[in-house]
Chains A and B, each alone.
Chain A
Amino acid sequence: QNDGYRTLSLSGHVGFGSLPDQLVKKSIKQGFCFNILCVGETGSGKSALINSLFNTNFDDSVSTHFLPSVRLRAQTYELQEKNVLLKLTVVNTVGFGDQINREDSYQPIVDYIDAQFEAYLQEELKINRSLFSYHDTRIHVCIYFISPTGHSLKPLDLLTMKSLDSKVNIIPIIGKADGISKTELQNFKNKIMSELVSNGVQIYQFPTDDENVSEINTIMNGHLPFAVVGSTKEVKIGNKTVRARQYPWGIVQVENENHCDFIKLREMLICTNMEDLREQTHARHYELYRRCRLEEMGFRDIAPENKPVSLQEAYEAKRHELYLELQRKEEEMRQQFVRRVKEKEAILKEAEQQVQTKFEHHMLMHQEVKLQLEKKKKVLQDEIALFIEKKANAELLQSQASVSTPLVSLKRDKDRK
């Protein structure tokens, strides 16, 4: 156990014997979490038992038998005893066993338990996480209520417990046990235990490896399943007021060990093994869930060819993968963009070409028309010139005719003179 380290003896008082106290002091400051799941048919006495266990009347509404499916209802309470603060969460199954077809009754329960593991795992996998201030909602114990038929386990019980035993610590109890006589009870208990064993259901065993508690735990293991009676009412007996159920033929006292195993349950659950229940949940059930989940996601500790692969390398490989994917997408988008731009460019170019062609065409037309017009103009100008010439000729002729006489008379005049 020392891993090859030499043991040294101390020559004086050092003081680290106070280490457990330092740890405890810190734990008290942080407070404790305890989460109980009660699975049982409607009316099996779940609420009454919890009230009795914690000696309080938790506010709980009565449920009907007519719910369409199984639901889970969780409530958290803060309890304080001396300087210990406990955050107690009680999860009840609502409508369990009421449906006609109960094939899927256990599924919501399994889902709920898994969901709490998942939440913890998510937190644990975060890069920036705060595990020490995380409100732990994982179920530490499942109290399974067996109906006090006196015969054996029901098929639903076996099915449900089998689907839960690898996920949570199960403590089976017989609820409303005040209807069973002592002899019937022992037979019933034996029958239940043998059925559990033969069906391979792993219920929670009170730990026997610590010599402080092994004796009491071994005895208690032999009393399973606990036959309990819970009560929300109190009855006066003598000068004391105790939790009890009053019948015409007598009073069943909850905390009387001759009447039922309630005290045993409370002692085992709270006073002796609460810490172990929490540890088993974390070290065994949660680890199993985590392992399965990570393997589901494709992570391995050992790659093919037996080369050890760390989860971290797998992380980094996945991150690299994602990064490459990202790059690829980016490249794709870029190429698409380039393509689109090219297309647009081509379209525009074509349009430009068309415009150009039209322009040239128009230019040509323009030239042609201009030429024609010039021709016409020339023709017209020629005609004008011709016309002017003619006009000039005509005028000349006219003037010659009128000038010949006056010219003669002028000459005669000149001669006379």
Chain B
Amino acid sequence: PHAGPVEGKNEAAMSELVPEPRQKPAVPMKPMGINTNLLGYIGIDTIIEQMRKKTMKTGFDFNIMVVGQSGLGKSTLVNTLFKSQVSRKSSGWNREEKIPKTVEIKAIGHVIEEGGVKMKLTVIDTPGFGDQINNENCWEPIEKYINEQYEKFLKEEVNIARKKRIPDTRVHCCLYFISPTGHSLRPLDLEFMKHLSKVVNIIPVIAKADTMTLEEKIEFKQRVRKELEVNGIEFYPQKEFDEDLEDKTENDKIRQESMPFAVVGSDKEYQVNGKRVLGRKTPWGIIEVENLTHCEFALLRDFVIRTHLQDLKEVTHNIHYETYRAKRLNDNGGLPPMTVETEENHESNL
């Protein structure tokens, strides 16, 4: 995937900051595509194992954000996804915790390990989104937070003496929770996704899907997909970043049929057919979360975690971050100044 080129005299200005590269030696590099046949085993393919071992040693960062009105089951879903209490549920019926006046950003990090792979998972919750009477611009704090993480990374990257591994707090994936009204997307949904799909990978999910029948679900999904298309909202996986035919076919199927995933979350287990399963118990039956005939949770989980986790990170790094960086270096202060920085400076002077 390539970021769109931005023409500008700024690039010339930029290269003025960097003096002419030193004169290359007489013989330049000529990449000759000679496909040489190997006459015996050498061991080049062992680099895969070397790479795998190295990445397992360093571990991974993953940052997932959940956005949606309160009560849509965001925390439950994330906990179900990662099979542990990675997100603290806001007490629904307990009125001691008031709905915040503005959108708050709460990031909680945990370390989880599976199969020798260590993952530092950060769940970013956005309580207060869509809950006010007047929700104008309620996506702004979220956009600000996302850009702040890009800024943090950029500042580190641009240091002279850099850390070996720059801590990655950038939001890799944003799950947007759509209310299962069965009708269509709300104006707030469209506004949010329109603004944020340009800066972060958005995966829309239909929350609490156990209130829709199969037909209602299919219809609703079709309508949502149509509305997103009409409004020019590119959710993840974005069409323009499909790397090759294999990706395209795989992603097309997901984009045109599976998404948005209609999910149900639960942290309770029940006995069904002799097995213990995660589910929701109702008078009319037990909804099995991981049963594909009941809801699409398993699809979401496989999509986000088992197949596209690395790609989510790469698109964030290679596309969204690069877009931010280019804009930042071009604009010369188009974004609000980082007041935190100056405070730090004052402190260091003291």
Whether, in the assembled complex, B349 has its beta carbon less than 8 Å from a beta carbon of chain A, the answer is yes
- Closest Cβ–Cβ distance, residue B12 to chain A (whole Å): 10
Query: Do B309 and A127 have beta carbons less than 8 Å apart?
Result: no
Whether, in the assembled complex, B133 has its beta carbon less than 8 Å from a beta carbon of chain A, the answer is no
Query: Do B84 and A81 have beta carbons less than 8 Å apart?
Result: no
Whether, in the assembled complex, B263 has its beta carbon less than 8 Å from a beta carbon of chain A, the answer is no
How many of chain B's residues have a CB under 8 angstroms from any CB in A? 102
- A-B contacts counted at CB < 8 A amount to 279
Which residues of B141-180 are within 8 A (CB) of A?
154-155, 158-162, 164
Query: Do A14 and B81 have beta carbons less than 8 Å apart?
Result: yes
Chain B residues within 8 Å of A73, by CB: 27
Whether, in the assembled complex, A283 has its beta carbon less than 8 Å from a beta carbon of chain B, the answer is yes
Query: Do B348 and A14 have beta carbons less than 8 Å apart?
Result: no
Bound-state CA distance A89–B11 (Å) is: 30
Given A56-B37, A310-B155, the answer on whether A271 and B60 have CB atoms closer than 8 Å is: no
Given A55-B40, A129-B322, A307-B348, the answer on whether A84 and B47 have CB atoms closer than 8 Å is: yes
Given A29-B244, A291-B160, A319-B332, the answer on whether A135 and B31 have CB atoms closer than 8 Å is: yes
Chain A residues within 8 Å of B44, by CB: 79, 81, 84, 86, 270
Bound-state CA distance A15–B304 (Å) is: 10
Bound-state CA distance A25–B40 (Å) is: 24
Binary contact track B323-347/A, C-beta < 8 Å → 1, others 0: 0011001101100000001001100
Binary contact track B232-265/A, C-beta < 8 Å → 1, others 0: 0000000000011000000000000000000000
Bound-state CA distance A87–B47 (Å) is: 13
- Closest Cβ–Cβ distance, residue B50 to chain A (whole Å): 4
Query: Do A56 and B160 have beta carbons less than 8 Å apart?
Result: no
Query: Do B83 and A14 have beta carbons less than 8 Å apart?
Result: yes
Which residues of A1-57 are within 8 A (CB) of B?
2-3, 5-29, 32, 53-56
Interface size class of A (residues with CB under 8 A): 35 or more
- Closest Cβ–Cβ distance, residue B134 to chain A (whole Å): 36
Query: Do A272 and B50 have beta carbons less than 8 Å apart?
Result: yes
Given A20-B55, A115-B25, the answer on whether A266 and B160 have CB atoms closer than 8 Å is: no
Whether, in the assembled complex, B135 has its beta carbon less than 8 Å from a beta carbon of chain A, the answer is no
Binary contact track A237-280/B, C-beta < 8 Å → 1, others 0: 00000000000000000000000000000110011111110010
Chain A residues within 8 Å of B302, by CB: 15
Bound-state CA distance A23–B314 (Å) is: 10
Binary contact track A291-333/B, C-beta < 8 Å → 1, others 0: 1001101011100011110111001101110100000000000
Bound-state CA distance A14–B18 (Å) is: 47
Chain A residues within 8 Å of B81, by CB: 14
Bound-state CA distance A79–B45 (Å) is: 11
Query: Do B160 and A126 have beta carbons less than 8 Å apart?
Result: no
Bound-state CA distance A301–B158 (Å) is: 10
Query: Do A23 and B51 have beta carbons less than 8 Å apart?
Result: yes
Bound-state CA distance A2–B122 (Å) is: 13
Bound-state CA distance A72–B10 (Å) is: 35
Given A23-B310, A84-B48, A86-B44, the answer on whether A127 and B11 have CB atoms closer than 8 Å is: yes
Chain A residues within 8 Å of B325, by CB: 127
Chain A residues within 8 Å of B301, by CB: 14-15
Which of the segments A117-125, A178-186, A397-405 contacts the partner chain?
Answer: A117-125
Pick the contact of B21: A89, A115, A295 (CB < 8 A): A115
Whether, in the assembled complex, A414 has its beta carbon less than 8 Å from a beta carbon of chain B, the answer is no
Pick the contact of B160: A20, A54, A135, A300 (CB < 8 A): A300
Query: Do B25 and A72 have beta carbons less than 8 Å apart?
Result: yes
Query: Do A79 and B310 have beta carbons less than 8 Å apart?
Result: no
- Closest Cβ–Cβ distance, residue A134 to chain B (whole Å): 11
Which of the segments A106-114, A153-161, A221-229, A386-394 contacts the partner chain?
Answer: A106-114
Bound-state CA distance A128–B344 (Å) is: 30
Whether, in the assembled complex, B292 has its beta carbon less than 8 Å from a beta carbon of chain A, the answer is no
Which of the segments B91-99, B107-115, B182-190, B195-203 contacts the partner chain?
Answer: B107-115
Chain B residues within 8 Å of A18, by CB: 305-307, 309
Chain A residues within 8 Å of B51, by CB: 23-24, 27, 275
Whether, in the assembled complex, A132 has its beta carbon less than 8 Å from a beta carbon of chain B, the answer is yes
Pick the contact of B25: A15, A71, A320 (CB < 8 A): A71
Query: Do B117 and A312 have beta carbons less than 8 Å apart?
Result: no
Whether, in the assembled complex, A409 has its beta carbon less than 8 Å from a beta carbon of chain B, the answer is no
Query: Do A79 and B36 have beta carbons less than 8 Å apart?
Result: yes
- Closest Cβ–Cβ distance, residue B80 to chain A (whole Å): 9
Which of the segments B1-9, B69-77, B215-223 contacts the partner chain?
Answer: B1-9
Query: Do A315 and B17 have beta carbons less than 8 Å apart?
Result: yes
Whether, in the assembled complex, A77 has its beta carbon less than 8 Å from a beta carbon of chain B, the answer is yes
Query: Do B305 and A267 have beta carbons less than 8 Å apart?
Result: no
Binary contact track B11-39/A, C-beta < 8 Å → 1, others 0: 10110111101111111111111111111
Whether, in the assembled complex, A78 has its beta carbon less than 8 Å from a beta carbon of chain B, the answer is yes
Pick the contact of B27: A24, A72, A127 (CB < 8 A): A72
Query: Do A122 and B18 have beta carbons less than 8 Å apart?
Result: yes
Given A22-B309, A128-B6, A315-B17, the answer on whether A266 and B42 have CB atoms closer than 8 Å is: yes
Chain A residues within 8 Å of B281, by CB: none
Bound-state CA distance A112–B28 (Å) is: 9
Chain B residues within 8 Å of A118, by CB: 21-22
Provide 12 A-B residue pairs closer than 8 Å at the C-beta atoms, listed in order of the A residue: A12-B278, A16-B305, A18-B307, A54-B42, A56-B37, A71-B27, A112-B24, A121-B18, A131-B318, A275-B54, A276-B54, A310-B158
Which 5 residue pairs are nearest across A and B when measured between Cβ atoms? A17-B115, A275-B50, A22-B310, A271-B43, A15-B306
Given contacts A125-B14, A137-B29, 5 further A-B contacts (CB under 8 A): A16-B60, A22-B311, A274-B50, A290-B160, A307-B345
